[in-house]
Structure 1
């Protein structure tokens, strides 16, 4: 990888998780709200919902390249664990666009002054493809980030604290989104993810051009 490409990739790595961290902090509704409540809360804060859609778009553009870059760094020291992480994460983040489209649809309905009941029905009556995408996203990005954090630790590509932050990030996000509906906690969770990926960016910049990342003495079957 050329020097310019490495700098561009390094700059890209923390952007996606950081964007989603802000999204989860400002999101005008809770993940556990029903459709009618979602529409009412979006109607009360349409500008905030617009920011949510734009931040989601940033995530769509950056998260898949970020996890591929992280996987490229961890693969020499933990090939199988890295492969498992990417099998989960790439499909998960590839579906994010469908979820962002749902938020955009609610915002459109509110701004066009459609009846709240109609917008709620549209938000609730999810196409089967979108429903499957939601499952793939939730399972894939939570489990996949844990596995990627493990690969970061096994490979020795980043400090252990960065691997640990990555491991805990998405389980903490799941708790914040589904169990306690805590937006500041969710911001902290995705912030952990962003810090972990920033450590990957630093490690990537330290790899000399044309050389593979340093590999720790672990089993190649990891």
Structure 2
């Protein structure tokens, strides 16, 4: 159940990051390459950021990736699929990232995202190497 909730939050959260920033990235690249006036690029980028859709995507991103990743770490810990320290590393990785974003501490942000990478890599490796009969609980058994 925890894994399902975590995925339900984290996947849209990470997808929303790209959806929210893609227009601004295109405009910034066009301005940097001299293909559009920088003043026009700023005006368009500012207008895109003020759209309600941008605000909604930011909300989905912030809530989804922060809470979803932490819940996925807790699910890994409960399942005992990876060593406990890896599960805890994933569970605390995004709160560490949030703290770094709030304080402007870039080395701390590197630690937060590094923990996220280690946690997701370990979970992915575990899933890829898992036999089908190990993947889920047997019928009639709950965690």
Residue 117 of structure 2 is aligned to residue 194 of structure 1:
yes
Residue 43 of structure 2 is aligned to residue 124 of structure 1:
no
Q: Deviations over 1:57-82 (max 9, x none)?
A: xxxxxxxxxxxxxxxxxxxxxxx111
Residue 95 of structure 2 is aligned to residue 171 of structure 1:
yes
Report the count of equivalent residues.
136
- Pairwise CA distance, 1:89: 1.2
Summarize the Cα distance change of 1:115–1:105 in structure 2 as closer, same or farther, 3 Å threshold: closer
8 Å contact kept, 1:176–1:185:
yes
Runs of at least 4 residues off by over 3 Å: none
Question: Which has the larger share of helix?
Answer: 2
TM-score by length of 2: 0.82
Tell me, which stretches of 5 or more residues in structure 2 are unaligned?
none
- Pairwise CA distance, 1:111: 2.3
TM-score by length of 1: 0.55
- Pairwise CA distance, 1:162: 0.6
Tell me, which stretches of 5 or more residues in structure 1 are unaligned?
1-79
- Pairwise CA distance, 1:195: 0.5
- Pairwise CA distance, 1:131: 1.7
- Pairwise CA distance, 1:181: 1.4
> Whole-Å Cα distance in 1 between the matches of residues 121 and 18 of structure 2?
24
Q: Which has the higher contact order (CA 8 A, sep 6+)?
A: 1
> Whole-Å Cα distance in 2 between the matches of residues 186 and 107 of structure 1?
25
8 Å contact kept, 1:142–1:171:
yes
> Whole-Å Cα distance in 2 between the matches of residues 90 and 198 of structure 1?
16
> Whole-Å Cα distance in 1 between the matches of residues 134 and 60 of structure 2?
32
Q: Deviations over 1:139-186 (max 9, x none)?
A: 110010011111110111111001111011111111212x12122221
- Pairwise CA distance, 1:214: 7.3
Q: Alignment partner of 1:158: what SS?
A: coil
Aligned to 2:72: 148
Aligned to 2:16: 95
